[in-house]
Structure 1
Amino acid sequence: MLDIAEVAEKTGLAPSALRFYEKKGLLTSSGRNGLRRTYEPEVLSRLELINCARRAGFSIAEISRFLVATPGDTALRAKMAEKVAVLHEDIARLQRMRDSLEHASTCTHEPLIECPDFKRRLTP
């Protein structure tokens, strides 16, 4: 069993975030150790999924629905497919930015943003 402070330390989340996730139904504590909530060790992988989804732009409500989804939930599957398309666009945009910045870090063109190679890497 992990108490809330241990979970917070291992995940980098504030205890208040863990309590919020629990209130929203994303987590379930397994009990208490004195005044502190305790969690099964599996909560760490669930929090990794939640954090990944949050960074990808999912709302708490979307994550909540995703965590209880079944294969027959066609509406949620359609939303997931839409999100996949958006993520592909985001990934492509971020890769272009990464490539441009990587080039700019060694480029000698003045000014850097006028470099044809830099500009070419930014465009889709």
Structure 2
Amino acid sequence: MEQPQLRLRSMTVLLTPSQVAERAGVAVSALHFYEREGLITSTRSAGNQRRYTRDVLRRIAFIRTSQRVGISLAEIREALSTLPVDRAPTKADWPRLPRRWRTSLDERIARLQRLRDDLDGCIGCGCLSLKRCRLQNPDDTLGAQGPGARLLDPS
């Protein structure tokens, strides 16, 4: 059974950590982590319990989606810091956040495509010192160090 929502500010519905966690699909500990990292904020009830505004759900969705595509927490924090603090972000506020990442995401996609294409020649070979290995030994730089394995951990 869902807990009742508290109204601590006029016309603002505040959610408990468990309500936010359930609706966002994250653990309560993740909410606390996001808050420590400055990604989301909460208010406190009269009993000093955390309460979240509903717009935190959209922020969490943005955080999780951004992390899935490899955006760092620092970059996410910077993007979220551009959102208004005096009101819930509107539909118009959200599209501009990921625009700043377009170039770096395009570069990452290109690197991943090169990796995918280069792996075709490496899978199963087990040798990372081939003269033509563009992943671990571009231009056979390891060959200049003499014969034998150079990348294996001796322990």
Gapped regions of structure 1 (runs ≥ 5): 71-75, 94-124
Is the partner of 2:45 in helix, strand or coil? Answer: strand
Give the structure 2 partner of residue 54 of structure 1: 67
2:104 to 75, 82, 86: 82
Matched pairs, number: 87
Give the structure 2 partner of residue 113 of structure 1: none
Specify whether residues 56 and 3 from structure 1 end up closer, same or farther in structure 2 by C-alpha distance, changes over 3 A only. Answer: same
Gapped regions of structure 2 (runs ≥ 5): 1-13, 84-98, 116-155
Alignment of 1:39-118 (within 5 A): 39-69=52-82, 77=100, 80-87=102-109
Specify whether residues 52 and 35 from structure 1 end up closer, same or farther in structure 2 by C-alpha distance, changes over 3 A only. Answer: same
Give the structure 1 partner of residue 24 of structure 2: 11
Give % identity.
36
Return the TM-score normalized by structure 1.
0.58
Query: How far apart in 1 are the matches of 2:64 and 2:45?
Result: 24
CA contact (8 A) 1:3 1:38 kept: yes
Say which structure, 1 or 2, has more relative contact order (CA 8 Å, 6+ apart): 1
What's the RMSD between the two structures over aligned residues? 2.9
Give the structure 1 partner of residue 134 of structure 2: none
Query: How far apart in 2 are the matches of 1:2 and 1:52?
Result: 22
Query: How far apart in 2 are the matches of 1:36 and 1:89?
Result: 46
Give the structure 2 partner of residue 38 of structure 1: 51
Query: How far apart in 1 are the matches of 2:109 and 2:50?
Result: 35
CA contact (8 A) 1:3 1:33 kept: no
Is the partner of 1:7 in helix, strand or coil? Answer: helix
Is the partner of 2:62 in helix, strand or coil? Answer: helix
Q: Deviations over 1:39-74 (max 9, x none)?
A: 00111111110110011111211111121249xxxx
Return the TM-score normalized by structure 2.
0.47
Give the structure 1 partner of residue 146 of structure 2: none
